[in-house]
């Protein structure tokens, strides 16, 4: 009996240990050899050949120990995977187990390499995950596996090769979508695309992977973080001493290689390369001087990466589709899922999301222009269009249930899902693209917050909604500004007192706290979307740069938006009115610094751009004003798709 070998493993901190036979690991070997990596590797899969012992005199013992996932590393630090943070304990535990087994009188074979995961799966300790890792019932994939080859006949309970084909993890596909380099597919893992493959061999890394490296120093756990089998695991804080070692300014200058070596095996140059990636990918412009000192390094790979990082930090950059400045990084952290970008899959649905005043409608209108100039059929649904299929159709959104009860909210959620599913079916039936602004995350502030609906339930709703929308290859563009209060105050000046009163409820001391929470939650929701997404900080008002990046994101050629020069703007100004027996509608057109602005009673300063003779497009609104000059009278005929009473009517100028 070899139960004393198991007892020794448990006493050393392993959660389980089991014996298996020494049959060759053919399933594992065949899978490895079928991939590109197998062409370059020569790994023996037959324990008998490795040991020189007869098959019936070989027992392979497999033990597993937990390697708890690490909580978020502090801002300004690089990241090390939890597997490596447990490396010191792993080595000590292995050495101690080997000694204990030898002390028990067994002969063991040291210095041989066996497929640890394959042995653990044969032992029944877990199942094969789509991400190439073994997944255990209680600790998910966050486990360390130790294998010992013992010169002894297999005990009766030793499992054999007939158990090598595990049932698998269930194939939910979350790891496929989340992998930043697309290394995971339904057929398994292409290790030559895995980021971990390049962390000790940066000279072979494709440059398009640089921005995907995030702030990883060693280890990539993206596929494990999103795996539902790991969702309940408690995260541990990284050791305090390591957070000091992992500060990027330290890694870029004089990394403490001796101390770091307790956990990871990177030389000084490799450490600086990874630190340069991390600094660039987290927007650490304050570290530019330190990275610039690495430019010209005699190590050509370090020089190349440093030059890339300097260029990256000097420009507005969008990492994996998200502008990764310190503000957005502080919000998203581990809730951010890397993009699964499939360039060949064109969007059927584009949603421009964000808070009021960040430029949603203006951006959506410009996207429509870009599609028109690229000769691509599309539709633009402004959030206030008449009969909006999500907002206004069939009585309106969030009207089927009480907003102050959970049952009522559930009814509204079911209705919203149905509205979106119906719209998706319409989109799929058409051979064009739908561009929408708003009507997405505004539900948070409009309906969920007033009813005190908990954040986790709101996130659950949006996870379900995004799953529906992804079927139309949703491309989600999220506009934001880090200073929420400043954004609204700027918008108040343009949009007027009536709009300000709607936002602040007339409170002079309004602190924007709800709006700040709203934006942070909305960004987290966007971060959780595993499809194509792009987040842009619009506080700099650099709209040409933003639109060029959006065009790259949507695979469109960029066209500068040109309008006609208005030679005599004053002739278009004045107070215009429509009146009948039931309604009176009016609009005031003014000229400021040679530019025309439309001022209805509910909004101010809507810019008017001339697109044809006496014909103007309203900025951010799907409306056209067409002037007619008859004798001494001036008329405006209004067309478009917007929920405003003057659409479809002709207004007459009453006075200048």
Per-residue pLDDT tens over the stretch 542-591: 999 899 989 988 888 999 887 888 889 999 999 999 998 888 889 999 99
- The pLDDT score that the predictor gives to residue 344 is 42
Q: Percent of the chain beyond pLDDT 90?
A: 49
> Residue 350: pLDDT above 50?
yes
Name the band, by pLDDT with cuts 50, 70 and 90, for residue 320.
Answer: very low
Mean pLDDT for the stretch of residues 187-211: 89
Mean pLDDT for the stretch of residues 67-91: 87
- The pLDDT score that the predictor gives to residue 322 is 41
- The pLDDT score that the predictor gives to residue 41 is 55
Distance between CA atoms of 191 and 185, rounded to whole angstroms?
Answer: 11
Q: How many CB atoms lie within 10 A of CB 334?
A: 17
Nearest Cα residue to 45 out of 31, 63, 61, 64: 31
pLDDT digits (tens, 9 = 90+) for 585-628: 899 999 999 999 998 877 778 999 998 999 999 998 999 999 99
User: What's the whole-model pTM score?
Assistant: 0.54
Distance between CA atoms of 273 and 293, rounded to whole angstroms?
Answer: 13
pLDDT digits (tens, 9 = 90+) for 11-42: 999 999 999 999 998 887 777 666 655 555 56
Sorted by sequence, the CB contacts under 8 Å of residue 597 that are 6+ apart come out as 589, 590, 591, 604, 605, 606, 607, 608
Mean pLDDT for the stretch of residues 467-473: 91
Mean pLDDT for the stretch of residues 60-76: 89
Greatest Cα-to-Cα distance within the chain, rounded to the nearest angstrom: 113
Mean pLDDT for the stretch of residues 258-276: 89
pLDDT digits (tens, 9 = 90+) for 110-145: 888 888 999 999 999 999 898 889 999 999 999 999
- Domains in the chain (CATH in brackets) are 3-174 (no CATH), 183-219+239-315 (no CATH), 329-553 (3.40.50.300), 569-655 (2.40.128.50)
Mean pLDDT for the stretch of residues 272-294: 91
Indicate the length of the chain as a whole number: 656
Distance between CA atoms of 24 and 113, rounded to whole angstroms?
Answer: 13
């Amino acid at each position: 009996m070899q139960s004393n070998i198991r007892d020794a493993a448990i006493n050393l901190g392993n959660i389980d240990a089991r014996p298996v036979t020494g049959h060759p690991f053919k399933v594992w070997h065949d899978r490895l050899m079928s991939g590109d990596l197998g062409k370059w590797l020569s790994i023996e899969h037959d324990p008998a050949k490795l040991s020189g012992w007869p098959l019936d005199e070989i027992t392979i013992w497999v033990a597993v120990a937990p390697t708890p996932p690490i909580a978020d590393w502090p801002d300004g630090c690089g990241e090390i995977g939890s597997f490596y943070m447990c490396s010191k304990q792993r080595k000590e535990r292995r050495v101690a187990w080997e000694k204990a087994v030898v002390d028990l009188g067994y002969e063991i074979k040291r210095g041989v390499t066996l497929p640890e995961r394959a042995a653990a799966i044969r032992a029944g300790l877990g199942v094969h995950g789509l991400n190439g890792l073994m997944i255990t019932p209680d600790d998910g994939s966050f486990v360390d596996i130790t294998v010992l080859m013992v010169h002894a006949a297999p005990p009766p309970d030793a499992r054999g090769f007939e158990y090598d084909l595990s049932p698998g993890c269930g194939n939910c596909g979350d790891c496929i979508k989340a992998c930043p380099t697309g290394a995971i597919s339904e057929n398994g893992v292409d290790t030559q695309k895995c980021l971990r493959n390049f962390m000790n061999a940066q000279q072979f890394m494709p440059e398009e992977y640089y921005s995907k490296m995030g702030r990883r120093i060693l280890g990539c756990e993206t596929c494990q973080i999103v795996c539902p089998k790991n969702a309940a695991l408690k995260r541990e804080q990284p050791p305090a001493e390591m957070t000091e070692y992992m500060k990027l300014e330290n890694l870029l200058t004089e990394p403490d290689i001796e101390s770091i070596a307790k956990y990871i095996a990177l030389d000084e140059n490799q450490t600086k390369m990874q630190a340069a990636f991390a600094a660039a990918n987290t927007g650490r412009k304050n570290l530019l001087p330190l990275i610039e000192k690495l430019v010209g390094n005699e190590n050509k790979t370090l020089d190349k990466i440093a030059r890339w990082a300097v260029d990256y930090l000097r420009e507005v950059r969008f990492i994996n589709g998200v502008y990764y400045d310190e503000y957005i990084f502080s919000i998203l952290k581990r809730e951010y899922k890397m993009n699964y970008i499939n360039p060949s899959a064109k969007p059927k649905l584009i949603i421009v999301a964000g808070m009021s005043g960040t430029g949603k409608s203006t951006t959506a209108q410009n996207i429509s222009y870009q599609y028109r100039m690229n000769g691509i059929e599309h539709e633009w649904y402004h959030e206030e269009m008449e009969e909006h299929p999500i907002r206004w159709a069939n009585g309106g959104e969030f009207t089927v249930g009480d907003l102050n009860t959970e049952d009522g909210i559930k009814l509204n959620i079911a209705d919203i899902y149905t509205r979106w599913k119906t719209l998706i079916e319409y989109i799929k039936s058409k051979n064009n693209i739908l561009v929408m602004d708003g009507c997405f995350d505004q539900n948070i502030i409009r309906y969920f917050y007033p009813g005190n609906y908990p954040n986790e339930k709101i996130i659950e709703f949006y996870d379900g909604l995004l799953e529906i929308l992804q079927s139309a290859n949703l491309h989600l563009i999220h506009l934001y500004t880090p200073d929420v209060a400043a954004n609204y105050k700027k918008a108040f000046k343009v949009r007027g007192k009536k709009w300000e009163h709607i936002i602040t409820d007339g409170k002079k001391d309004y602190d924007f706290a709800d709006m700040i929470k709203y934006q942070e939650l909305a960004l987290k929701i966007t971060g959780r979307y595993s499809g194509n997404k792009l987040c842009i900080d619009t506080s700099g008002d650099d709209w040409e740069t933003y639109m060029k990046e959006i065009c790259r994101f949507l695979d469109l050629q960029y066209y500068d938006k040109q309008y006609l020069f208005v030679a005599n703007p004053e002739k278009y100004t004045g107070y215009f009115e429509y009146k009948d027996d039931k309604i009176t509608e009016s609009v005031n057109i003014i000229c400021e610094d040679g530019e025309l602005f439309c001022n209805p009673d509910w909004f101010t300063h809507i810019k008017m751009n001339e697109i044809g003779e006496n014909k103007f497009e309203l900025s951010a609104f799907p409306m056209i004003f067409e002037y007619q000059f008859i004798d001494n009278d001036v008329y405006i005929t209004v067309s478009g798709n917007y929920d405003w009473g003057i659409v479809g009517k002709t207004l007459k100028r009453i006075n200048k």
